Amino acid sequence: SSELSPSFLLASIPGLEAAQAWVAIPLCSAYVLALLGNCAVLLVVRAEPSLHAPMYFFLCMLAAIDLALATATVPRILCFYWFGSREISFGACLLQMFLIHTLSAVESSVLLAMAVDRYVAICHPLRHAAILTNGATAKVGLLAMARGVLFFLPLPLLLLPLPFCGSRALSHSFCLHQDVMNLACANTTPSVVYGLTAILLVMGLDAVLICLSYLLILKAVLRLAAWRERLKVFSTCIAHICVVLAFYVPLIGLSVVHRFGKNLAPLVHIIMGNVYILVPAVLNPIIYGVRTKQIQRRILS
């Protein structure tokens, strides 16, 4: 298949091809902000002993994932926008696609682990330290990585033998499974079925379990007598809820655009793709920086 389709063409911004170098400036600025914010989180948690707890170790995992996800995509997009390097090889496209889907799955797993951490801390506070030890946190991170790789490694392998003999133009400025799969001129049913199954069993299941965790948290919070006490307990979850929304809303939006947006303007696909890649990476450190006084103090110092 790589001989029939040695490369794909990344999507340019319709109507703004001549001004792409200028359009790339805010994209580059968002990428730099994501790098600075997530590196700051990693350095602050490392330097601040009071943050050596499971919740902040999970936050470090999120920061590392966001750094890897943004770095796997944005520099290549900037090369296209600034230097006109539109073609991406078949192998590089499959690798980028694998990294995007795998890292997204790992991030989803870490968000679920953070929700469980909040549930145990609020509903079983006396057992929290015994259940979520540093060793258990490390094991959860390794399991999240293994889960992402095992579920999403078959995606590029299923595309590898397919012929690509028609259009080579992608609808995003990077490679996604459904986007690449739609360009194949062969039966893609196994790829469609497996891709949908993997997303439902990873992101779909994680979303359901996160919602269940917060329903149990809400039930426990409502048992408290005083409203002030309820707000104080639930406020510890606000940052995580915002981070969950920052991840799942762009993910759902991109999925809806792929499924029902065939008649939408190409610009919508490009914007949704860039939002999906960059919004969590930019917002996560800001959200936790605003909500965590120790992180604020360390950054200011």
pLDDT digits (tens, 9 = 90+) for 169-214: 888 889 999 889 988 888 889 999 999 999 999 999 999 999 999 9
pLDDT given for residue 6 in this prediction: 66
Residue 275: count other Cβ atoms within 10 Å of its Cβ.
15
Termini Cα distance of the chain: 55
Spell out where the chain has E strands.
7-9, 87-89
- In the structure, what pLDDT confidence band is assigned to residue 17 with cuts at 50, 70 and 90? low
Structural contact between residues 207 and 124, judged by C-beta atoms closer than 8 angstroms: no
Compute the half-sphere exposure of residue 197: CA atoms within 13 Å on the CB side of its CA. 10
Q: What is the rounded distance in angstroms from the CA atom of residue 234 to the CA atom of residue 252?
A: 26
Partners of 88 in beta bridges: 8
Please say if the pLDDT value at position 90 is more than 80. Answer: yes
Please say if the pLDDT value at position 33 is more than 50. Answer: yes
Of the given ranges (14-18, 60-64, 150-154), which has the lowest mean pLDDT?
14-18
* Nearest alpha carbon to residue 89 among 162, 1, 21: 1
Please compute the mean of the pLDDT values over residues 234-251 and round it to a whole number: 89
CA angle 287, 52, 116 (to 5 degrees): 65
pTM: 0.92
**Residue 292: both structure tokens together:** 């965590």
Q: Scan for tokens 């496209």, then name that residue.
A: 93
Q: Scan for tokens 């996604």, then name that residue.
A: 176
